[in-house]
Structure 1
Amino acid sequence: MRALLLAVLWVCQSCSCPGPTPPPPELATGERLVLREGWQLQSSAELSATGAELSRPGFEGARWHPARVPSTVVGALVEAGVFPQDLYQGMNLRSLPGMDYPLGENFTNLELPSTSPFLPAWWYRTEFELPAGVSGRKVWLTLDGINYRANVWLNGQKVGALSGTYRSFELDVTGAARPGGRNALAVELFAPRPTDLAHTWIDWNPTPPDKNMGLWRDVSLTTTGPVAIRNPQVVTRLESESLAHLTVSAELRNTSEQPRTGTLRGSVAGVWLESTVTLLPGEVREVRFTGAEVSGLDVRDPALWWPAQYGPQSMHTLELEFVEQGGAVSDRSRLRFGIREITSSVTENGRVFHVNGRPILIRGAGWARDMLFMESAEREAQEVSLVRDLGLNAVRFEGKFGSDHLLDLLDDAGILVIAGWSCCDVWENWGRNADGEWTRELKWNEEQWAVAEASTRDMALRLRNHPSVIAWWYGSDNPPEPETEAMYLRVLGETRWPNPVQSSATAVETALGGPTGLKMRGPYDWVPPNYWLEDTRRGGAFGFATEISPGAAIPEIESLTEMLGPEHLWPIDEVWSYHCGAVQFRNVDAFTAALSARYGTASGVLDYTRKAQAMTYEAQRAMFEAYSQRKYRATGVIQWMLNNAWPSLIWHLYDSSLAAGGGYYGTKKALEPLHVQYSALDRSVVVVNSGLGAHPDLRVSARVLSFDLTPLHEAEATVSLGPDGVATALVLPVLTPPSDTYFVRLELRGADGAPHSTNFYWLPARPDVLDHDYEGPDAWYMTPTTSYANLTRLQGLAPVALEVEVSPSRREGDERLKTVRLTNPSTHLAFMVRLKLTHGPGGAEVLPTRWEDNYVSLLPGESRTVVARYTEADAHGAEPTVESSGWNVPKTAH
């Protein structure tokens, strides 16, 4: 019978209770025993015992802190109550021992101070039971992520001496393991030094005092017979969307001292695979299946995996087992994958990525992990839902890689991933010269080279099967020197990396990597909305910009209070600076100067945050709209960033509490699947289609209004869009507004009259003026504004009382939906109306909440219906209250 019976992957956890832990159910072949709970943590400075003693079951004689894994040392100590829970508020982080490095400095490149409690090693320790049934089988201990060096002990025996943050270590612990009995595992960890190829935070945020030392990914045990299956892979080559050629491969490892004969068999996409092999003692062999041997691997009409706005995210399963001659199953493996092919090419405009042969304009953002690496699976799911809600189609991992669970979520959500090494640390500096300065001219030492090679290999094997992962950038702000680049390319070839690779995120061409088709020329600080279509030298809407941003992202007052503490809300002080970035990004001065000039000097923190939401809304919307309008002269844009590692005033689309402000909803507006937008540069009204469907006979209307809402111009047009298309529907005439500020309102409807998109702009009669020829030392991150636009009249908008109708929440799948209808009964503009759900009147915000639109502006007599999505758990099982407020709309609970 050819039915392949594979056990469902079962993950069990060690008990955190004292005393003997009952043995888990039988640890079947292909299952993992993941050791997550019940760990203990302590500094080696507080211990006199050796690793052999600490790894003996029942060891006593030390006081331990409770911990879980994955975790970092500081993260675990926060959870254990050793350090305060409000570590991220104000400057509380500076109260931790070892945090006395200079403010704003990049601690990555500094040694731990001699007084730091994290200079000595720290021990993680746990006990667990192994089922008696694994006796006679190989037992493997896997540490998926250590930071940075570790000595590993099991039951009194040293089983490994490890180094490398991005390595995955599989240790044969058969001789030390005790099936049917109590086992003790102890891991001695050492923090990274400046010369180590570790996690770094660069200028994003402060670096915690332990430099993220810890067991930052899973620790688990598996068992096999003498032959193990490792590194399965499915590679797709598409002849067309209706014919896919699959290549299936896996490594077989004979871990015994005798020859082994058996059959590798399994199924993929409904196709049976089978190959009989004989392995010599210790032999590792790759077994491959192609359409030449298995005709079913040429799949007709395959269920393809697509990015979110292009189609469904169809996932498939490869199941394999190795059966020995006597019929015993030596090992099993199960792999999720998608049938899809990623290609890219460099055009005269920049690098263009293709998914299944279709070009796609990359519109993404940089991903940050929690600063202490303590995020939960629930948090990861919430953040992925926000990415998809925004309309982004990609995230970039610059050396900050999430869990396998996160990658699975991105696969299922259809969010593309661009991954690679980080900048501004030893990954891009190969040694120090005699003056102690970093230089690319020196070479890594033997250990660094080995860690870099092994890290690249392990990351490639980890990422290569995820359909969401589309590229690997083995440099960030700089390409590697030639010898290192040759090593990287060799390893990627040996691991059969299936996707495009680029030597860096910059335009620098290398002899081996060739042209990148990318650019990294800023900006990272505030620029006005007109920058993106005017600039032709740096971050403007042309080519593929790998990291750019309009800078500061001031959250709403609730999050700001939680971040800074009530005593530091106003005026702007050193606590604000601490929650910016490092080095050049230690303040919000450029943003504040622009806010004061354009919208009027803030009278206090409430006025500042109100104006900041308008600033970030228009800034983020303009950036993404510009790149969309110029598809494929513009081939990609990565917003710097999506989120922050801790509460921050710069570089995010939603804040660390998952609250969404003006920047979020300006981005979401720009990235609507079918979107109408206005360009003040050439007065064009443009319609953008981000999907693969055609849209004939779309109806576009445009209204230009003076500040007092007197109509200045009205126009209508019909336009048809093909898949992934862009079309100019209208060009408005040159007008001379009678005031400093005027408005443009756009609407897009289908041929049937159904609304697809609305858009509202507040515009200056005289735009901001930039010095595009500026070549100063800070030109890489900012372009000076020599004359600011005048939008200060918005301060005088008359108050408006809205009519708000709220419907009871209804259930849709795992979510709750709340519908709100807004009506402006007045003769005035209701500007930047914010809606939020709260835990009762005056209560905290329900987070996260995903509104289909927010910060909306309503003309006199206009009504809008918007829907909010949230979970019952996030609302604490109660019906939430709707609160409305706005620029000129009083706060009201409904």
Structure 2
Amino acid sequence: MRKISWLIILGCVVNQMALSQNRYELNNGWVCSPIGSVKVTGDKLSVPSYSIKGWMPATVPGTVLTTLLDNKKVPDPFYGLNNDKIPDIYKTGRDQYTYWFVKEFNEKAPQGNDQVWLQLRGVNYSCDVFLNGKQLNSARHYGMFLRQSYNITKLLNSSGANRLAVIVYPIDPVGNPNGGQGGDGTIARNVSHQYVAGWDWIQPMRDRNTGIWDKVYVERTGGVNIKNPHVITQVPGVRKVEGQQAPAKIIASAELENPTAARKEGVLQYQIDGQVVKQNVTIEPNSFKEVNLPVFQLNNPKLWWPNGYGPQNLYTLHFQFLEGGQTVSDEEQVTTGVREIQTNWNETTRSKQVSVNGQKIFIKGGNWIISDAMLRFTDQRYDAEVHYHRDMNLNLIRVWGGALIERPEFFNACDKYGMLVMQDFWMSGDCNGRWVDPMKSEDQWTRRKYPDDHTLFLRSVADQVKLVRNHPSLAIWCGGNEITPPEDILRPMKDSILPALDGTRWFVDYSNSDDMSLNTLGGNGDGPYGIQDPVHFWEHRTFPFNSEVGSVGVGDYESLKRFMPAENMQVPQYPSNKVDPVWDYHKYIGYNQYIDPYGAAKDVADFAKKAQLVNYDQYRALGEGFSNRMWDWYTGFIIWKTQNPWTALRGQMYDYYLDPNACLFGLRNGSEPVHVMCNPTDGMVTIVNNSFEEQRNLMLVVHFYELSGKDSFVTQVFAYIEPTSVKRVLSVKELADKLAKDKGVFLSLQLLDERKQVVSDNCYWLPDANGNYSGLQSMAPAALKAKATQTGKGKMTVALTNPMNNPVAFFNRVTLLDAKTKTRILPVFYSDNYFSVMPGGEKTITIEYENSNPLLISIEGWNVATLFINPGS
């Protein structure tokens, strides 16, 4: 049945799990057993007296495969070809990964009107839930993205000893991982994630991520439970970052549930900025009610801005229901930011333009798959990954539609670091029928109707919107990746569900929709994805708001060693494209002829070193090329992609182990808020100002340095540039061609402020007349002087000096090591890396980290011998 009432759907959605004052997580002490080893039903299994001696410890939240890995029952699927050694559910049948999970916990039966609730934030894919001999769900629960909430008050044992038993069944169908995008496509018949059947950047997850994959909570409330608090902020007008602010409006509501047999009267209230906003409420017995609180005017608000434009101020709203106006029955906290998202059509670029608080934002984004392919999510990993995106000078992350609605912990990090979020729903053009595809088992017309259960899809949409809608970082909802949902899903989402539950954000029907942008021929699309000549990013006009454009991303030798056996450390060959099986399995795409201009790779370490030069040049050129045509050709770009959820060899700024490569720092440079750069075709030195403030009295300094270190000073001139604009200053092409002709040359560009502090520092290495970096291959060594200083807990600076008359100290990486093992500390956040220091120049790198072990700094470069220094030396 395809005709669906969204009003019914909204009424079925479970409560949002905002921060509760009386809630705890069931995240340890679980055990599990495969269904074939359990001979009793759930009602008997969940009785505390039934023996579960010898059951295997289980990882919850987690998947079956995570549990098997943690118990050393399977090899690490991210290493080498190990994933092929793990039985795939398509061949074994679903029972292989159907498991019982059991957890014993202490919670006494409450007195009076107090209530106790069990909440499961995510189970993949279907389950039955039992507590103390009773089944909680009247019918089997289905859906990876539909949360569950059960009132367990009357089932708790008076002793406080309780047993929870959950049987988790895998998706059905599980999909054939035949090498296609999403395998044979049938994975999309479920309301689940699609990448688990394999994609062009990942191998299949053998259990399809079956398990209790998200958090499980027990919450205690009084007779009234607060559910799904909702906060909308309205910020009218065009705002400045600094100074006194005009008022903003806070529009808040919450759902209240009274599960008792008595009418409840009381006050729903929240506190913000020292003020209390109240609403008197009466709730009938065994009923549910949505309550709107009075609109509140927040004077002189501290606004939330995207990264690079202003601070990320946050407010915490403390919601309470006071029974009889006196007794706290329940309380929840919502942390949000005061900001407003607007969009309009830019007629010049022919694309959508995003504004925040009335100010237009040039979108610099990265595509995000998922933090971990096996759903091993942690607050720390989310924080580190989003921190890296902040460090790349990006301001948006798009969460791709073949994965999931990201977790609140991800959005917390985006709120903190100023990342706008474009969130896709669970569709992809590959699985859902946009293209003819011989790898798919069903035709396009059939795939176009996926998933099988449209009602479940819409219920899940409503539920997940309520889960994350309060986050200021969430800016755009997207119907699907490269395809719209079926019409009877799209229309309720667009016309009913989102307006009713949110209504404050741009909804784009699919990721490369014509509503997003139109190119000069009138259509929209995405790509390219492979390695490009850097000139391409400057001169080739692509889609004006490109949702997917990207390139390569192999890490360095230390990164490769983490997941690649020594016998597979073979240099990929060009032009034969001969690739070792492990490289191929981990989805390597060729660097083609872009390594050879630096000299043919002698071994894998040499290949990986030279790959970093290519990485840096690629992503710097991407950031610069799009910025060069800001508001002329483009309103934004989103890189495909900035991270990998497993050990892939393409499209990443840091590896799975959170070790950054040169892609990150090339993009960081090319995407600076205020940046000086040079067009490789016409030699035009250009300044980009991505801030809201005019930049006055900047000093532009231009030098050429020969390979010997000889300085050919060009000019220094004062420059002025208006807000959010691009300014072309002068061309150095004629001199560049002359100086680079024989061996190549370095071009150094700097912007200095009135205090002579560096605002932007950019070094290009230009090839010789034949397009080769012949001079780099014979550079004389440079002896850097370095000093590392501890500046605080988890903070350090490294000051580097290149003496006068030295050659350029080229392409250096500073790395924080464990002093005993000399292994890299991960993650670590560097203010810059893969940088060059000119003769007579200085460079200071700041480092942030969390580690208490004795530390060591290593410095290595193209023509700089590896140097180890101790902090304080």
Task: Tell me what 2:478 maps to.
Answer: 473
Task: Tell me what 1:94 maps to.
Answer: 84
Distance in 1, matches of 2:515 and 2:725, equals 31
Q: Contact 1:430–1:444 at 8 Å: present in 2 too?
A: no
Q: Residues 406 and 610 (structure 1 numbering): CA distance in 2 closer, same or farther, change over 3 Å?
A: same
Task: Tell me what 1:753 maps to.
Answer: 756
TM-score, scaled to structure 1: 0.85
Secondary structure of the residue aligned to 1:667 is helix
- Post-superposition Cα deviations, 1:554-583, rounded to whole Å, max 9, x if no partner, equal 11111111121222112449985555688x
Q: Residues 136 and 427 (structure 1 numbering): CA distance in 2 closer, same or farther, change over 3 Å?
A: farther
Task: Tell me what 1:810 maps to.
Answer: 791
Is 1:863 the equivalent of 2:841?
Answer: yes
Q: Residues 606 and 266 (structure 1 numbering): CA distance in 2 closer, same or farther, change over 3 Å?
A: closer
Task: Tell me what 1:782 maps to.
Answer: none
**Paired positions, count:** 806
Is 1:683 the equivalent of 2:674?
Answer: no
Is 1:877 the equivalent of 2:850?
Answer: no
Is 1:549 the equivalent of 2:554?
Answer: no
| Aligned-residue identity in percent | 26
Secondary structure of the residue aligned to 2:734 is coil
- Post-superposition Cα deviations, 1:260-305, rounded to whole Å, max 9, x if no partner, equal 33322332333322222333344433221344xxxxx122211111
Distance in 1, matches of 2:651 and 2:111, equals 50
Is 1:199 the equivalent of 2:193?
Answer: yes
- C-alpha displacement at 1:699, in angstroms? 0.6
Q: Contact 2:805–2:840 at 8 Å: present in 1 too?
A: no
Alignment of 1:250-289 (within 5 A): 250-289=254-293
- C-alpha displacement at 1:479, in angstroms? 1.7
Alignment of 1:439-478 (within 5 A): 439-440=444-445, 444=449, 448-478=453-483
Q: Residues 204 and 177 (structure 1 numbering): CA distance in 2 closer, same or farther, change over 3 Å?
A: farther
Segment of structure 1 superposing worse, 651-660 or 420-429: 420-429
Task: Tell me what 1:83 maps to.
Answer: 74
Q: Contact 2:571–2:607 at 8 Å: present in 1 too?
A: no
Segment of structure 1 superposing worse, 651-660 or 446-455: 446-455
Q: Contact 1:576–1:649 at 8 Å: present in 2 too?
A: no
Segment of structure 1 superposing worse, 850-859 or 339-348: 850-859
Distance in 1, matches of 2:109 and 2:636, equals 55
Q: Residues 289 and 665 (structure 1 numbering): CA distance in 2 closer, same or farther, change over 3 Å?
A: same
- C-alpha displacement at 1:390, in angstroms? 2.1
Q: Contact 2:229–2:254 at 8 Å: present in 1 too?
A: yes
Secondary structure of the residue aligned to 2:231 is strand
Q: Contact 1:140–1:223 at 8 Å: present in 2 too?
A: yes
Structure 2 unaligned residues grouped into runs of 5+? 1-18, 174-186, 240-245
Segment of structure 1 superposing worse, 166-175 or 153-162: 166-175
Is 1:531 the equivalent of 2:523?
Answer: no
User: Which amino acid in 2 is paired with 1:601?
Assistant: A
User: Which amino acid in 1 is paired with 2:31?
Assistant: Q
Instruction: Please point out which of 503, 513, 518 is paired with 1:507.
Output: 513
- C-alpha displacement at 1:660, in angstroms? 1.7
Alignment of 1:744-823 (within 5 A): 744-764=747-767, 790-811=771-792, 814-823=793-802
User: Which amino acid in 1 is paired with 2:846?
Assistant: A
C-alpha RMSD of the superposition = 3.0
Instruction: Please point out which of 485, 494, 502 is paired with 2:500.
Output: 494
User: Which amino acid in 1 is paired with 2:191?
Assistant: L
Distance in 2, matches of 1:503 and 1:666, equals 32
- C-alpha displacement at 1:184, in angstroms? 0.6
Secondary structure of the residue aligned to 1:530 is helix
User: Which amino acid in 2 is paired with 1:612?
Assistant: A
Alignment of 1:186-335 (within 5 A): 186-192=165-171, 193=173, 194=187, 195-201=189-195, 202-240=199-237, 241=239, 242-291=246-295, 297-325=296-324, 327-335=326-334
Structure 1 unaligned residues grouped into runs of 5+? 1-27, 99-111, 292-296, 767-788
User: Which amino acid in 2 is paired with 1:657?
Assistant: Y
User: Which amino acid in 2 is paired with 1:81?
Assistant: K
Q: Residues 887 and 319 (structure 1 numbering): CA distance in 2 closer, same or farther, change over 3 Å?
A: same
Secondary structure of the residue aligned to 1:743 is strand
Alignment of 1:37-76 (within 5 A): 37-61=28-52, 63-76=54-67
Distance in 1, matches of 2:523 and 2:359, equals 19
Distance in 1, matches of 2:434 and 2:382, equals 34
Distance in 1, matches of 2:584 and 2:328, equals 56
Alignment of 1:391-410 (within 5 A): 391-398=393-400, 399-410=403-414
Segment of structure 1 superposing worse, 556-565 or 57-66: 57-66
Q: Residues 684 and 454 (structure 1 numbering): CA distance in 2 closer, same or farther, change over 3 Å?
A: same
Q: Contact 1:440–1:481 at 8 Å: present in 2 too?
A: no
- C-alpha displacement at 1:476, in angstroms? 1.3
Task: Tell me what 1:183 maps to.
Answer: 162
Distance in 1, matches of 2:70 and 2:782, equals 46
Task: Tell me what 1:102 maps to.
Answer: none
Distance in 2, matches of 1:94 and 1:134, equals 54
- C-alpha displacement at 1:119, in angstroms? 4.0
Q: Contact 1:197–1:427 at 8 Å: present in 2 too?
A: no
- Post-superposition Cα deviations, 1:371-397, rounded to whole Å, max 9, x if no partner, equal 211133222222232222222222121
Segment of structure 1 superposing worse, 460-469 or 190-199: 190-199
User: Which amino acid in 1 is paired with 2:813?
Assistant: R
Q: Residues 505 and 725 (structure 1 numbering): CA distance in 2 closer, same or farther, change over 3 Å?
A: same
Q: Residues 815 and 224 (structure 1 numbering): CA distance in 2 closer, same or farther, change over 3 Å?
A: same
- C-alpha displacement at 1:752, in angstroms? 2.8
Distance in 1, matches of 2:335 and 2:363, equals 24
User: Which amino acid in 2 is paired with 1:637?
Assistant: F
Distance in 2, matches of 1:593 and 1:869, equals 35
TM-score, scaled to structure 2: 0.86
User: Which amino acid in 1 is paired with 2:500?
Assistant: E
Distance in 1, matches of 2:588 and 2:271, equals 57
- Post-superposition Cα deviations, 1:634-665, rounded to whole Å, max 9, x if no partner, equal 21111122211112210100112222221111
Alignment of 1:359-758 (within 5 A): 359-367=360-368, 368-398=370-400, 399-424=403-428, 428-429=432-433, 436-440=441-445, 444=449, 448-489=453-494, 490-508=496-514, 519-536=524-541, 538=542, 543-550=544-551, 552-572=552-572, 578=582, 586-589=587-590, 591-596=591-596, 598-633=597-632, 634-705=634-705, 714-735=714-735, 736-737=737-738, 738-739=741-742, 741-758=744-761
Distance in 1, matches of 2:428 and 2:462, equals 22
Secondary structure of the residue aligned to 1:793 is coil
Segment of structure 1 superposing worse, 435-444 or 133-142: 435-444
- Post-superposition Cα deviations, 1:21-42, rounded to whole Å, max 9, x if no partner, equal xxxxxxx984112101101122
Q: Contact 2:109–2:153 at 8 Å: present in 1 too?
A: no
Secondary structure of the residue aligned to 2:333 is strand
Q: Residues 413 and 218 (structure 1 numbering): CA distance in 2 closer, same or farther, change over 3 Å?
A: same
- C-alpha displacement at 1:826, in angstroms? 5.0
Secondary structure of the residue aligned to 1:809 is strand
Distance in 2, matches of 1:805 and 1:711, equals 23
Q: Contact 1:45–1:120 at 8 Å: present in 2 too?
A: no
Secondary structure of the residue aligned to 1:352 is strand
- C-alpha displacement at 1:343, in angstroms? 1.1
Distance in 2, matches of 1:402 and 1:484, equals 20
Instruction: Please point out which of 788, 802, 813 is paired with 1:834.
Output: 813
- C-alpha displacement at 1:429, in angstroms? 4.5
- C-alpha displacement at 1:333, in angstroms? 2.1
Q: Residues 260 and 757 (structure 1 numbering): CA distance in 2 closer, same or farther, change over 3 Å?
A: same
- Post-superposition Cα deviations, 1:678-710, rounded to whole Å, max 9, x if no partner, equal 112232212223333332110102234556666
User: Which amino acid in 2 is paired with 1:448?
Assistant: D
Q: Contact 1:830–1:886 at 8 Å: present in 2 too?
A: yes
